[in-house]
Amino acid sequence: MFGVNRGKAYRGEFGVEPATTIRDVFEAALGLPAAERARLLDERCPDPLRRAEIERLLAADATEGELLSTGDAACAARAIGDTSVAQALPAGSRIGPFELVEVLGEGGSSTVFRAFRQVDGVRQEVAIKLLARGLYTADAQRQFRREREALARLRHPGIARLIEGGITEAGLAYIALELVDGLPITRYASQHRLDLRQRLVLFLMVCRAVETAHRALIVHRDLKPSNVLVTADGHVKLLDFGIAMLLDEDAAEQIHTQHRALTPAYAAPEQFAQEPVNAATDVYALGVLLDELITGQRRASADAGTPSSRLSPDTVTTAYGTVPAGVSTLRHKLRGDLDNIVLKATASEAERRYASAGALAEDIERHLDRQPVLAHPPSRWYRTSKFVARHRGGVVLTALFMAAVLTSLSIALWQAQVARQQAARANMVRDFVESLFAPVRYGTAPSEQPSLDELLAHGVAKLDNAPSMDDGSQVDLLAMFSRLYEDLGDVAQARQLANRAVALSERTLAPSAIESIRALTARGYAAVRMEDYADGGTDLRLAHQRMLAQGIRGEALIDLLGPLGAVENSEGHGEAALDLAREALAERIDSWGPDDPRVGIGYNDVASALEGLERYDEAIPMWRKTWQFELAHFGPSSSQTTLALAGLASSSFRAGHWTQAHALFGQALAMYARNGNAPQLTQVYAAQKACVLEGLRADHASAQARCGQAQAWSAAGFGADTALHGDSLEATAFGEVEAGDLVAARKLFDAARKLYGSDPANRMRIGRVDSELAGIALLEGQPAVARELLPEAIAGLRTRKYRMPPLIAEARLLLACTRTPATPCPPDLQATVEHDLAAVASRNDPQLLWVHTLLAQVELAHDQAGAARARLTAAIPRAAGDLPPAHPRRLAAQLWLAVAAARSGDCADAEAQARAASATIQLGGLAAHPELASASTLLRHPLASCGPLLN
């Protein structure tokens, strides 16, 4: 602003306007000799601060030289030198995990490189954008991270993905983006000679992508053809979404830079005016882009004319590849709807534009469907009201007219507000939550700090009394509180809040609103946590469907996939559960990068799904990977690391690596015990599995310790009257069987069975107990009892996919019906057993020895001594690695092998086997073990051609 005269007068330190300015005194003093200067200052500057300032000015005036000691501006610029980042970062330099290849482009506020990194041996090519501004303060870095995370959550096939972002040690911020190979949309359209309709359809894809971003509260701010690419296969990819936001310097710095990252031709008026930008800003740029796409010519910035009026033979020929005669046809097609649509999108007043990119898309769709569009030329009323607003003084207004103007104005203001509300709401919710935690942050004494429970109750109460909060926020917060209650284990409260969230969203929001979808997810999750898989599955599947339809990915999707996997599992769809777990893992890595701590749970879930499918060879390395990941991110004593270790132990156990599982469970349970938290479900599971394992290994001391933990934790954490506690009792019983105490075992099995009741959900558990009770009956010489129990038990066991328990039960049934000629075996039982055995043949599960010993007895009963002998000769050494020599099952198998050898006429081998077993039995004090009873009895008498082999 030239020609402005003297600027603001100097204001004194105390805000009092002095009669004369500092400059006045300074200039007055300049002409005076030193002594008179002092007198002048005495007279006119009684304030010592002011006087000192003037004295400094006079001293500075007396010095020689330029403003900068280096010389004039050009000279100073040379002395400082040009340190552009491209120069400082040659090919091969590293930024974060990426190696730079070449500079793709350099702009005022950033430099773009082609770069790559190796991920699991695969070369991942990315575009790295290095921001020119540095982020030195913790606040600036936090802000950058927050925005980066918002961008990372933005997932849409039409938007180039933000892969990673970080801050180098030098304080430079960078972002890694999906590298897109494509042409600017305008070039693509002319190169492929797209007709008008094809161009509009392509442009709709652009609008949809922009709409998705706006819903995630992200504004592009710099939409232009070079940011809207079309790949060779015709897919639209938007580049640099929200990057302008990251580039924008904070308010203080903005004063210095004077301009923002923007491209003048596509920038909306509010951007030039440096007013806050919002979704309407992008709508404006879309309008300019649409104009250029359909006319083949970018409009001049001051041009508010219609697209159809601007068509020229040259540009149309270049853009459409048609003969100039096509111009009039095209003009005819643009005139009317498309002209109006472009004008509405590019209205200089933001409130007159389409409210969203989606609304713009819908109007174009209406045009394509030959329906009337919303856009129309400004009405006379509108122009009149504008005129009135501009010439208030000159127009005589009636009160009525004035009221009408004010009404229309307030509606316009309200509309402009809607777009901003999104961002405002995100802030409001954040503030609300932060206010809840205020007492925790501001150094309250630990004893007075509220518990998480209290905090949540406080939050819910506060929400009830927050009438000013809008519905979307309320729904979001209710869902969030529901989630938090779940984490605290208060599933009932969680479910109630989730129900409220869904009810509110159904009353006030669209089903496709992200808040509605999140509420639905929360309700489904709460149901799943209460093992209500049917209701939970309905909600979660619907939410999943809507998310996919809306292009919502990232955290919201991840939150959904976990419980959905649990639903699939509960329905026996292990493969589907595994697919979901893998999808979630990929989503985690995509959203947060491979090194984010939150990726660990993704590995955990995949491992867990693999275990569920009995694919132990894959589950074990995946658990190991999970464990290493958690160890690296959370340290050795974290609950995450412990969980992974327990998972590794569990899969090792199920795969039959009992010795290894023994050591791993020991480690995991020691960590659980040390943490001393209220027992978690996973912790109880781990103790129960360890209890069964030690029992089966016949390691009585370990079994006692583990089973003690399992019982204590299930009772303390979940109640002594729960099915979960029944599991602990049942687990303990397995050890009693191996210890030979059938009475104690039966007592525990009965107690467990009582806790399971007749709940159909516990069918598998009941089947497990009945199979064991049948095993005891067989040992006690009551095959009829076993024959009675087993068919139903097998059916129960088959409700879960694990193969080993039903296999044992089937072998028991085969033996039981062999011994009860009155009720012969089901006809296909033999075939089923052989089939199941083949399925686990590759596994070295020691429990296969249980099965083979049973089957050998069946064969002996059918005079197939040779088969029995071959079976046991093969089976015993396979189990030897994980069973101690004095294990009753091993000894029983050896005794039955002696029987089989004797029946085959090999008395020498029979005697050797019997003698070896006998020695170990004596040594271990196992003579009275019921497992050994029937074989021992047989061996005390002559068998076939051999004499008694035991005394």
Backbone angles phi, psi at 67, to 5 degrees: -65, -40
Q: Of the candidates 227, 212, 115, which has an alpha carbon nearest to the alpha carbon of residue 182?
A: 227
Q: Which is nearer to other proteins, 122 or 273 (CB)?
A: 273
Q: Which of 142, 197, 259, 392 binds other proteins (CB under 8 A)?
A: 259
- How far is 842 from 54, CA to CA, in rounded Å? 95
Shortest distance (Å) from residue 112 CB to other proteins: 17
Q: Which residue, 70 or 427, has its beta carbon nearer to other proteins? A: 70
Q: Are 647 and 611 in contact (CB under 8 A)?
A: yes
Contact letters for other proteins, residues 14-43 (x by CB under 8 A): --------xx--xx--x-------------
Say whether residue 743 binds other proteins (CB under 8 A): no
The interface mask with other proteins, positions 269-288, x = CB under 8 A, is: x-xxx---------------
Contact of 122 with 131, CB cutoff 8 Å: no
Q: Tell me the site size for other proteins, rule CB under 8 A.
A: 70
The nearer residue to other proteins, 2 or 442, going by C-beta atoms, is: 2
Cβ proximity to other proteins, 111 vs 295, nearer residue: 111
Q: Which is nearer to other proteins, 67 or 701 (CB)?
A: 67
| Cα distance between residue 421 and residue 414, in whole Å | 10
**Least distance from other proteins to the Cβ atom of residue 131, Å:** 11
Q: Using CB under 8 A, which residues numbered 289 to 308 contact other proteins?
A: 301-302
Contact window for other proteins (CB under 8 A) among 259-267, 303-311, 324-332, 462-470: 259-267
Closer of 56 and 915 to other proteins (Cβ): 56
Selected range binding other proteins among 250-258, 531-539, 770-778, 902-910, rule: CB under 8 A: 250-258
Smaller CB distance to other proteins: residue 69 or 398?
69
**Interface segment toward other proteins; rule CB under 8 A; list 137-145, 170-178, 332-340, 520-528:** 170-178
Which among 94, 132, 127, 90 is positioned nearest to 110, based on CA atoms?
A: 132
Closest CA to 924 of 889, 875, 882: 889
Paired residues of 231 in beta bridges: 182
User: Which residues in the 75-94 window bind other proteins by CB under 8 A?
Assistant: 75-85, 87-90, 93-94
Among 170, 232, 396, 838, which residue sits at the site for other proteins (rule: CB under 8 A)?
A: 170
Least Å distance between CB 311 and other proteins?
22
Q: For 158-217, give the DSSP string.
A: TBPPEEEEEE-TTSEEEEEEE---EEEHHHHHHHTT--HHHHHHHHHHHHHHHHHHHHTT
Query: Please, which residue, 116 or 401, has the CB nearer to other proteins?
Result: 116
- Per-residue CA distances from 66 to 56, 71, 76, 416 (Å): 17, 6, 11, 51
CA distance 715 to 709: 10
Q: CA–CA separation, 832 vs 798, rounded Å?
A: 12
Helices (H) and strands (E) in the chain, counts: 43, 9
| CB of residue 882 to other proteins, shortest distance in Å | 54
Distance in Å, CB of 60 to other proteins, minimum? 4
The length of the chain, given as a count of residues: 951
CB of 302 to other proteins, least distance (A): 7
Q: Nearer Cβ to other proteins, position 287 or 574? A: 287
The nearest distance, CB 501 to other proteins, in angstroms, is: 45
CA angle 217, 222, 225 (to 5 degrees): 120
The nearer residue to other proteins, 43 or 82, going by C-beta atoms, is 82
The smaller minimum CB distance to other proteins, of residues 168 and 820, is found at: 168
CB 157 within 8 Å of CB 235: yes
- Token pair 């969230």 is at which residue? 501
Tokens for 552, please give them.
């919502």
Classify the C-alpha dihedral 312-316-322-328 as positive or negative: negative
Using the rule CB under 8 A, is 6 a contact of other proteins?
Answer: yes
Least Cβ distance, residue 275 to other proteins (angstroms): 11
Binding segment for other proteins among 7-15, 395-403, 637-645, 787-795 (CB under 8 A)? 7-15
**Three-class HEC string of 310-352:** HCCHHHHHHHHCCCCCHHHHHHHHHCCHHHHHHHHHCCCCHHH
Of 10, 116, 382, 401, the residue at the interface with other proteins (CB under 8 A) is 10
Q: Which two tokens stand for residue 529?
A: 């946590």
242 closest CA partner among 185, 184, 282, 289: 282
Closest distance of CB 300 from other proteins, Å? 10
CB of 102 to other proteins, least distance (A): 17
- Distance, CA of 898 to CA of 920 (rounded, Å): 14
3-state secondary structure of 713: helix
Amino acid, single-letter form, for residue 828: D
Structure tokens at 698: 């016949």
Q: How far is the CB of 563 from other proteins (least distance, A)?
A: 45
Does 758 participate in binding other proteins (rule CB under 8 A)?
no
Q: Identify each DSSP E strand in 24-171 by its residue range.
A: 94-95, 98-106, 110-119, 122-134, 162-167
**Minimum distance from residue 316 beta carbon to other proteins (Å):** 23
Nearer to other proteins, 59 or 438 (CB): 59
Tally of CB atoms within 10 A around 489: 14
Q: How far is the CB of 464 from other proteins (least distance, A)?
A: 46
Nearer to other proteins, 66 or 863 (CB): 66
Which of positions 53-72 make contact with other proteins (CB under 8 A)?
Answer: 53, 56-61, 63, 66-70, 72
User: Going residue by residue from 108 to 147, which x/- string records binding to other proteins, judged by CB under 8 A?
Assistant: x-----------------------x-x-x-----------
As measured in angstroms, the least distance from the Cβ of 289 to other proteins is 17
Of 25 and 494, CB closest to other proteins: 25
Strand bridging mode 122-134 / 172-178: antiparallel
Stretch that binds other proteins, among 261-269, 329-337, 545-553, 837-845 (CB under 8 A): 261-269
Instruction: Please state, in angstroms and rounded to a whole number, the distance separating the CA atoms of residues 463 and 473.
Output: 10
Could you identify the residue written with the tokens 């009810």? 503
Q: How far is the CB of 72 from other proteins (least distance, A)?
A: 4
Nearest-5° angle of CA 218, CA 306, CA 321? 90
Q: How far is CA 225 from the centre of its chain?
A: 33
In the shown chain, the binding pattern of residues 639 to 678 toward other proteins, with x for contact by CB under 8 A and - for none, equals ----------------------------------------
Residue 811 CB partners (closer than 8 Å, separation 6+): 833, 850, 851, 854, 855, 858
Tell me the β-bridge partners of 128.
Answer: 113, 176
* Nearest-angstrom CA–CA distance, 938 and 949: 9
Q: How far is the CB of 57 from other proteins (least distance, A)?
A: 4
Q: For other proteins, which is the closer residue by CB, 71 or 572?
A: 71
- Phi-psi region at 361: left, alpha or beta (left = phi > 0; alpha = psi -120 to 50): alpha
By CB under 8 A, is residue 256 in contact with other proteins? yes
CB 173, CB 136: distance < 8 Å: no
Binding part of the chain for other proteins, among 266-274, 718-726, 739-747, 929-937 by CB under 8 A, reads 266-274
Contact with other proteins (CB under 8 A) among 105, 171, 324, 511: 171
Q: Smaller CB distance to other proteins: residue 250 or 759? A: 250
E-strand spans in 168-324?
172-178, 182-184, 228-231, 236-238
Q: Which is closer to other proteins, CB of 104 or CB of 265?
A: 265
Binding positions for other proteins, rule: CB under 8 A: 1-10, 22-23, 26-27, 30, 53, 56-61, 63, 66-70, 72-85, 87-90, 93-94, 108, 132, 134, 136, 168-172, 255-259, 264, 267, 269, 271-273, 301-302
